[in-house]
Amino acid sequence: MFNLKVYEITGERAILDSDGDIVYQKLLNAFSNNEHVELDFSGVTTILSIFTNSAIGQLYKHYNSDFLNDHLKITHMSPEDMLSLKRVNERAKQFYTSPEDTSQFLKGEIFDE
């Protein structure tokens, strides 16, 4: 199992989408080699959804829940952050399974159409 320490990329604060993109690319590389990954949040004290959207949410473009549940293990994340990650994952699954429906929904929400 490949251990990816988020702290080594973000420091204490996982708050940038650009850092999330770095994690995302590392995960894609590992998964393309059929590796299992432990995504370790030890030492990370602040995690924003913009980071988890970039790091993990985008994975649903390429992989389904079964694959991710089997190949990705999240460790040392607080229960509150795990709840936020669950919401990110649910939105990502919805978006990547039917992007046109989500796009129309957002258009209506944003532009009141």
Nearest by Cα to 48 from 81, 10, 6: 81
pLDDT for residue 99 is more than 70: no
For residue range 11-50, what is the model confidence (pLDDT) as tens digits?
Answer: 999 999 999 999 999 999 999 999 999 999 999 999 999 9
Q: How far is Cα 8 from Cα 5, in angstroms, rounded to an integer? A: 6
Packing angle, helices 79-97 and 99-111, rounded to 10: 110
- Do residues 27 and 58 lie in contact, with contact meaning Cβ atoms separated by under 8 Å? no
Give the C-alpha distances (Å, rounded to integers) separating 27 from 4, 43, 59, 110.
8, 20, 8, 32
Structural domain boundaries of the chain?
Answer: 2-111
Instruction: Give me the chain's average pLDDT, please.
Output: 91
pTM (2 d.p.): 0.85
Rounded mean pLDDT, 49-72: 97
Rounded mean pLDDT, 86-97: 92
